[in-house]
Amino acid sequence: MNIMRILAIETSCDETGIAIIESSGGLRNPKFKIIQGLISSQIKIHRPFGGVVPNLAKREHLKNLPILFKKLGSSARILNSIDLIAVTVGPGLEPALWTGINFAQEITKKDKKRLIGVNHMEGHLYSFLLPKKKTNISKSQNIEISKYSFPAIALIVSGGHTILLKMDSLIKWKRIGETRDDAAGEAFDKVARILDLPYPGGPEIEKLARVGNPSAVTFPRPMIHDKNYDFSFSGLKTAVLYYMRDHKDANKADLAASFQQAAVDVLVAKTIRAAREYNAQSIFISGGVASNKFLRKTLKKETQKIGCTFFAPDFKYNQDNAAMIAAAGYMTHLRKKKYPLRANGGLEI
């Protein structure tokens, strides 16, 4: 088996990530083994500002990259053992992306052949292929993890994007829907701010929603019945804002639960409708918002109802990380796709 050892660097937003993985199996049956996966989160730095401050992110990446790289061990030994260095080139915050690109160029010196640019969204897309923590049951009963098949629908939900892809294979897809305004994660973050919850808002809303009544307020489900697969979350966020303004003593847990229910209803309805229309065999979910257990549970249930198989990454690979960039680096390399080695904040999938 041809094994490729890949070092990856991720600095598109507020997590500095460095990982080493071993990849094999080729484009049809890629397999990944995590050798090292390091993340340094900047959440505490950005929290007082209620969101990510690009220049602070850049400063922190500059500080953290050499520290994480050193943790991998002797740089000479690491670089000798690596076949490919993968670095995120976009989408993301350009000052932040540049820190990763410059660092990757510095450590590879003149060895340009080994350096490859990676699309951050392809990283999220492939994150379900990264190894899963085995439960005791599956270890002892040796349960076969089911294999994905195509066509498939992929829902990528992060802080910056909400995208639906129709996939014919792991390397052939078409974007069939996206958000027309706020991304799903952005809506969670903004509603959290309205409810006076700290950044990042997604996990806080989820926590509060657990003790709230999801039917307390009927918020709009924007575009849920539209024929296309696009999303819109800005009106939903504004509806929460107006509700708070007009009901000063509203129960915040009820609002969090009602908002989460509305957002999940739309995400699930559109994904399932796309799966039906395209006769999908599998549904993949990824991105930071895929950490939301209510969304995962609801989508999984509806996926199974229509006879599809549901695939989601291990929880630690939903948020930005470098292991998923290494996996996407492997696929990008095998596809012979070349992204220019410069920051591209608006890079599309």
Binding footprint of ligand KG4 on the chain (CB under 6 A): 13, 158-160, 185-186, 188-189, 200-203, 206, 287-289, 291-292, 319-320
Residue 158 is a binding residue for Zn ion (CB under 5 A):
yes
Choose the contact partner of 202 out of ligand KG4, Zn ion, none; CB within 5 to 8 A by kind.
Answer: ligand KG4
Count residues binding Zn ion (CB under 5 A): 2
**Exposure letters 26-45 (e unless 16+ CB within 10 A, then b):** eeeebbbebbbbbbbebeee
Distances 251 to 133, 205, 254, 305, 312 between C-alpha atoms, Å: 37, 13, 5, 34, 32
Residue 88 is a binding residue for Zn ion (CB under 5 A):
no
Choose the contact partner of 127 out of ligand KG4, Zn ion, none; CB within 5 to 8 A by kind.
Answer: none
Backbone angles phi, psi at 237, to 5 degrees: -60, -45
Mapping DSSP to helix (H, G, I), strand (E, B) and coil, where does residue 179 land? strand
Nearer CB in complex with Zn ion: 96/236? 96
Nearer CB in complex with ligand KG4: 131/203? 203
**What value, to the nearest 5°, has the Cα angle with vertex 187 and ends 12 and 65?**
15
The CB-based long-range contact list for 62-66 (8 Å cut-off, 24+ gap) reads: 62/99, 64/16, 64/40, 65/9, 65/11, 65/16, 65/18, 65/99, 65/100, 65/103, 66/103
Select the span of 152-160, 164-172, 220-228, 336-344 touching Zn ion (CB under 5 A): 152-160
Nearer CB in complex with ligand KG4: 31/316? 316
The least distance separating Zn ion from the CB of residue 221, rounded to whole angstroms, comes to 25
Nearer CB in complex with ligand KG4: 107/205? 205
The least distance separating ligand KG4 from the CB of residue 120, rounded to whole angstroms, comes to 6
Choose the contact partner of 188 out of ligand KG4, Zn ion, none; CB within 5 to 8 A by kind.
Answer: ligand KG4
Q: In the window 261-320, what residues touch Zn ion (CB under 5 A)?
A: 320
Tokens of 18: 């460095």
**DSSP string covering 279-324:** T-SEEEEESGGGG-HHHHHHHHHHHHHTT-EEE---GGGTSS-SHH
Choose the contact partner of 108 out of ligand KG4, Zn ion, none; CB within 5 to 8 A by kind.
Answer: none
Nearer CB in complex with Zn ion: 122/320? 320
Q: Which residues would be at the binding site for Zn ion (CB under 5 A)?
A: 158, 320
